[in-house]
Amino acid sequence: MKILAIHGSPRTIRSTTRKLAGFVLEGAADAGAEIEMIDLADHRIIPCSACEACSLNGICVNDDDVPPLMARMQAADAIVFGSPVYIDNISGQMKVFFDRLADAIHYQQLAGKFGCAVATTEESGGDDVVVYLSHVLNYLGVVSVGGISVAIGGKAESVDAEEPAARALGKKLVDAVRDGYPDPVQEAVLADNRAYFRSLVLENRDLRTDEYERWVKMGWIR
């Protein structure tokens, strides 16, 4: 079982967000999972230009690090998203990455996986960012098992107080992968998302045959 954390702090290894996500991974590792951390700031990610070329064959015109990052997400059983709060939202690094996941969202390429979200902030906005990160997980077809935000208040060690809760969240991820995580509310959201994107899949079925056939096999198109 593989649990992958992706965080969008430009501070990389000095980041309190990374530390919080790391606690989640450590909890997952204690429960028997293989773990991996990705620092987005260490990767070359070109902003989406909305050219829609990916709709033709699933391949972006930009030659950068997003395809291998996506492959690592697809290889994982669960995904942790983490971001600091910058002006009441996620970091720029995280947003640019999310915008490049449009094709994965449209075709629900991560459906069946589980995830969670973490955020750190100076004073406020952390809970809202956790909600947004969880929303993106749902957009990708991923079921969220929860999230944690920490207000640092000028004290980086404040993250340490949340270590037990973060480790417990990591174990919860492992349990979800092993045993499932029924959530009727999220299941309804995921179904609505698939219903919305179904028309795109049908429109491009001659161009994206593999994706169309996968949707048919999943029972999303009849």
**φ, ψ (nearest 5 deg) of residue 112:** 95, -10
As a whole-number percent, the residues of the chain with pLDDT over 90 amount to: 92
N- to C-terminal Cα separation, the chain: 32
Tens-place pLDDT, residues 90-105: 999 999 999 999 999 9
What the block records as the tokens of 39 is 């620092």
Compute the distance between CA of residue 159 and CA of residue 151 in angstroms, rounded to an integer.
Answer: 8
pLDDT band of residue 125 (cuts 50, 70, 90) is: very high
Comparing CA positions, the residue from 7, 40, 38, 4 lying closest to residue 159 is: 7
The arithmetic mean of pLDDT across residues 68-82, rounded, is 98
Asked, for residue 208, whether it belongs to a domain, the answer is no
Comparing CA positions, the residue from 125, 133, 120, 128 lying closest to residue 161 is: 120
Question: What is the Cα Rg of the chain in Å?
Answer: 17
Q: Residue 156: what pLDDT?
A: 76
**φ, ψ (nearest 5 deg) of residue 73:** -65, -40
Asked, for residue 204, whether it belongs to a domain, the answer is no
Task: Quote the pTM value.
Answer: 0.96
Compute the distance between CA of residue 208 and CA of residue 186 in angstroms, rounded to an integer.
Answer: 27
Lowest-pLDDT range of 7-11, 77-81, 92-96, 154-158? 154-158
Tens-place pLDDT, residues 181-222: 999 999 999 999 999 999 999 999 999 999 999 999 999 998
Asked, for residue 207, whether it belongs to a domain, the answer is no
For residue 85, what is the domain's CATH number?
A: 3.40.50.360
Asked whether residue 124 carries a pLDDT value surpassing 90, the answer given is yes
Asked whether residue 77 carries a pLDDT value surpassing 80, the answer given is yes
As a whole-number percent, the residues of the chain with pLDDT over 70 amount to: 100
What the block records as the tokens of 38 is 């990705």
Compute the distance between CA of residue 8 and CA of residue 3 in angstroms, rounded to an integer.
Answer: 17
Q: Residue 153: what pLDDT?
A: 85
Residue-range definition of the domain harbouring residue 16: 2-182
Domain count, the chain: 1
Asked, for residue 220, whether it belongs to a domain, the answer is no
Asked whether residue 177 carries a pLDDT value surpassing 80, the answer given is yes
